[in-house]
Amino acid sequence: MDPASTLAPNLTPLAALLGTWKGDGAGTYPTIDDFSYTEELTFTDVGKPFLHYIQRTWAPNGSPMHTETGYLRAPRDGVAEFVLAQPTGQTELGEGTVVAEADTVVLEFDSRVVGSATAKEVVTTRRRYEIAGDRLVTTFAMAAVGVPLTHHLRAELRRL
């Protein structure tokens, strides 16, 4: 879909995200071994006042790692909401801000998480997406499995 012709007016602050991004990341957490991964994110205009989002990641040997999907909303000026489903049994409702300045757009979310009966315990998450031209840096922290809010992921992506 041609974003210029269909993008709902409320999504203008998110326009810099549209498309597919790919790059490498590193993960850590006090309870696990450090790891690295390749990540691909796609934000798609579906002709509605929200963007569809899908993320996929791979281990250095090419085998699939985490994936997630959801919707990115911009209901009011400066406000962003990220509604996410995790295959690991959690749902994340991220609420936060979108700030566009000069050539940089920053989105930040704190989330409430609801997990299924068998999911690992995740209490809250914090996400940040910084877009500067064709570069996107993502960071992710979580309070989970008895650990307070602690860094888990950072990746640097380029627009494909």
Q: What does the binding site for ligand HEM look like in residue numbers (CB under 6 A)? A: 27, 29, 31-32, 35, 37, 39, 57, 65-66, 68, 86, 90, 92, 120, 122, 125, 142, 144-145, 152-153
32, 88, 123, 138 from 150: Cα distances, Å = 12, 19, 12, 15
CB proximity list for 146: less than 8 A, separation 6 or greater: 121
Q: How far is the CB of 137 from ligand HEM (least distance, A)?
A: 13
Residue number, 3 or 135, with CB nearest to ligand HEM: 135
Q: How far is the CB of 134 from ligand HEM (least distance, A)?
A: 20
Q: How far is the CB of 38 from ligand HEM (least distance, A)?
A: 9
Going 133 to 21 to 153 to 89, the CA torsion angle's sign is: positive
Contact 49, 10 (CB under 8 A): yes
Residue number, 72 or 144, with CB nearest to ligand HEM: 144
